[in-house]
A and B are shown apart, each in its own frame.
Chain A
Amino acid sequence: AQTVTQSQPEMSVQEAETVTLSCTYDTSESDYYLFWYKQPPSRQMILVIRQEAYKQQNATENRFSVNFQKAAKSFSLKISDSQLGDAAMYFCAYTGAGSYQLTFGKGTKLSVIP
């Protein structure tokens, strides 16, 4: 079974600074998809970014970008110019191509310091 590991249970960042959240995964598949989801205090799960493993180019979405290292099975999320609204739980998730299951990491709680 695939596993997703987020080694930082909590992190903090100063407003306007940059922070990187780490995620590693274990898989024997060559084709798969990786996601970062944000869960603010409202509890609503929101997709931040999606990466397809066969694409070499790292996905970006405004202030959010990923560093996808396929050989190292690493998928970190970089948040630039951090804002107070970025404070949330962040979950990394994996699904194999052809799979019907999404596997989540345990999450990283990000605090933003004004």
Chain B
Amino acid sequence: NAGVTQTPKFQVLKTGQSMTLQCAQDMNHEYMSWYRQDPGMGLRLIHYSVGAGITDQGEVPNGYNVSRSTTEDFPLRLLSAAPSQTSVYFCASSYYKSGGLGEQYFGPGTRLTVT
């Protein structure tokens, strides 16, 4: 099993450009999520999905779009990149057991710089 994969590992964008961060998992997890990690801020939830066709907002959703057409894939789109979106982005997946989230499996992260 590859687990959770993310591409690219590094990306530099100019302000106003758009791009998609890719995330895929091969563990048949229902739940997938995107976080951003900024220095001194921990990880903050951007968007999450509990299954194909079902997405919802997390703590910091502005400027990001998601969709989930398959169980395996959960891409994150930046429509018009801003310097405030410079961050490290993590994708994670887990089972959703009765009563709560299971162990989150994280991808290796994408370091995004917006100039």
Q: Which residues of A are interface residues toward B (Cβ below 8 A)?
A: 4, 9, 31-33, 35, 37, 43-45, 47, 50, 91, 95-107
B108 and A95 contact, CB distance less than 8 A: no
Contact call A33/B101, Cβ cutoff below 8 A: yes
User: Least Cβ distance of B31 to chain A in Å?
Assistant: 7
Cα–Cα, bound, A105→B42 (Å): 6
Pairwise interchain contact B100-A97, C-beta atoms closer than 8 A: yes
Question: Is B26 part of the binding interface, using a Cβ–Cβ cutoff of 8 Å?
Answer: no
Q: Select from chain A the residue with minimum beta-carbon distance to B57.
A: A101
Taking a contact as CB atoms closer than 8 A, the residue among B42, B88, B101, B103 that contacts A100 in the complex is B101
For the complex, give the distance between the alpha carbons of A34 and B88 in Å: 23
Please name the residue on chain B nearest to A45 by beta carbon.
Answer: B106
Contact B45 A101, beta carbon cutoff 8 Å: yes
Least Cβ–Cβ distance between B4 and chain A, in angstroms: 10
| CB-defined contacts of A98 to chain B, threshold 8 Å | 99-100
Closest to B111 in A: A43
Instruction: Find out whether the CB atom of A100 lies under 8 angstroms from the CB atom of B106.
Output: no
Given A45-B43, A45-B104, 4 more contacts at CB 8 Å? A9-B40, A91-B43, A98-B100, A104-B44
B contact residues around A91 at 8 Å (CB) = 42-43
Chain A residues near B90 (CB-CB < 8 A) = 45
Q: Could you say which residues of chain B place their CB within 8 Å of the CB of A95?
A: 100-101
* Closest chain B residue, CB of each to CB of A6: B42
Distance in Å: Cβ of B106 to nearest Cβ of chain A: 4
- Give Cα A50–Cα B94 distance, bound, in whole angstroms: 14
CA distance A32 to B40 in the complex (A): 25
Residue pair B100, A33 in contact (C-beta under 8 Å): yes
Q: A43-B88, A43-B109, A106-B42 are in contact. Are A96 and B100 (CB under 8 A)?
A: yes
Q: List 27 A-B contacts (CB under 8 A).
A: A4-B42, A32-B100, A33-B100, A35-B103, A35-B104, A37-B104, A43-B108, A45-B43, A45-B92, A45-B106, A47-B103, A91-B42, A95-B101, A96-B100, A99-B100, A100-B101, A101-B48, A101-B58, A102-B33, A102-B45, A102-B104, A103-B59, A104-B35, A104-B42, A104-B44, A105-B42, A106-B41
